[in-house]
Amino acid sequence: MFKRRKQQMVYCDECGGRFKLRPQVEKIKDDIERVHFVCKHCKHDYTAYYTNNYIKQKQKEIREVGMRDIKKRMEIEKEIKAEMNNLRRKYE
Ligand SMILES: [Zn+2]
């Protein structure tokens, strides 16, 4: 028996096909990046989320906080979510 590397399988909303989730990063402009993945069957392009330096900084803060301070952690997560929504509105 050999172990297979676990990879998330998802179903495509457009064609119903099943494919491996392989996120790719596309540069939008300046520090803004779009993380997305493409259905291998119908080539439909799904946006996972947008990110920028601000969000990366916040994600770093979350790693530093860890599980020591849940309240702080939730605050930062809220800030990340708000910024991701902003970017999505702007660039989608
Ligand atoms: Zn598809």
Q: With helix as H, strand as E and coil as C, how does 7-73 read?
A: CCEEECCCCCCEEECCCEEEEEECCEEEEEEECCCCCCEEEEEEECHHHHHHHHHHHHHCCCCHHHH
Residue 8 has a pLDDT of 85
Structural domain count of the chain: 1
User: Model-level pTM greater than 0.85?
Assistant: no
Q: What is the 44 CA–ligand 1 centroid distance (Å)?
A: 6
The answer to whether residue 2 is domain-embedded is: no
Give residue 58 CA to ligand 1 midpoint distance, Å: 33
C-alpha 16 – ligand 1 centre gap (Å)? 6
What single-letter amino acid sits at 86?
Answer: N
pLDDT for the residue 7: 74
Enter the tokens of residue 22: 């392989």
The answer to whether position 85 is within a domain reads yes
- Contact yes or no for 9/18 (Cβ under 8 A): yes
Write phi, then psi, for 34 (nearest 5 degrees). -110, 125
| Per-residue pLDDT of the chain in tens (92 residues, 90 and over written 9) | 555 566 789 999 999 999 999 999 999 999 999 999 999 999 999 999 999 999 999 999 999 999 999 999 999 999 999 999 999 999 98
**What is the structure's pLDDT at 4?**
56
- Per the structure, the complete domain to which residue 80 belongs is given by 9-91
1 part of a folded domain:
no
The SS3 assignment for 88 reads: helix
Q: What is the 10 CA–ligand 1 centroid distance (Å)?
A: 10
21: in domain? yes
Residue 50 Cα to ligand 1 midpoint, Å, equals 21
* Separation of CA 37 and ligand 1 centre (Å): 11
